Amino acid sequence: MYEGQDPQEQQATAVCHQEGWFITGTDTEIGKTFVACALLHALRRSGLSALAMKPVAAGFDEQGRNDDVERLLAASSLQAPKALINPYGFQAAVAPHIAAEEEGRRIELSRILASHAQLQAMADVVLVEGVGGFCVPLGSTHDTGDLASALGLPLILVVGMRLGCINHALLTQQAIAARGLVLAGWVANRIDPEMSRFAENLAALQMRLAAPLLGVVEHATTPEQAALTLRLPAQARRT
């Protein structure tokens, strides 16, 4: 950091050479896309150009649109071809390996890596959002964890704050560590506004997750509002 920089400039300096982060979660439907969009807005506020890709998405409407992909496209600060943002899209809203088998297709990590490399040439930071949790199968021989490992990016874990989240978060942390990957930070997303003992659960997670809490996303906020409460992780690399 340089003396006299304002906080946003300092934050931009901290991540200016960061390729990006892999966004994973404790489960499906816990707000990965929401947090990714919030991070895109935060990066934009820091003066960085940012894109997000959803390598694998399932569940498309009759117009060929997927809600997660469309939200990431809208929140990105640059326009990029949808084929790069979402290399694999499947019509049925089911587990991706099942959807791929039904359509007679195979999810190739090499194709995703090639798309990611092209996006990296376009923006300062590229976020990659996984599908479901960290170990969702992408085929008979590989899963989302293998994709994160192949990309070599530090991870941000989105914890859906509800009953059972501590166990899910700790198991995900173990799976990330077993792949030799870096957990750069985590976000507490209040998907259940009526969660009993929220503060106690949050404290338990802070004690046990070996990564900084990047922020708490309150229920019924927008990504733009959440961006004001999230902090970007410090630069992190896989060792």
End-to-end CA distance of the chain: 23
21, 23, 30, 54: the catalytic one is: 54
Active site residue 54: yes
Pure H helices in the chain: 7-15, 32-45, 67-75, 82-85, 96-102, 109-120, 144-151, 165-178, 198-208, 223-227
Burial of 212 (0-12, 13-18, 19+ CB in 10 A): middle
By three-state DSSP, how is residue 109 classified? helix
Round to whole Å and give the CA distance between 15 and 232.
8
Task: Give yes or no for a contact between 135 and 53, defined as CB atoms under 8 angstroms apart.
Answer: no
| Residue partners of 145: CB distance under 8 A and separation at least 6 | 134, 135, 175, 176, 179
Active site amino acids: 54
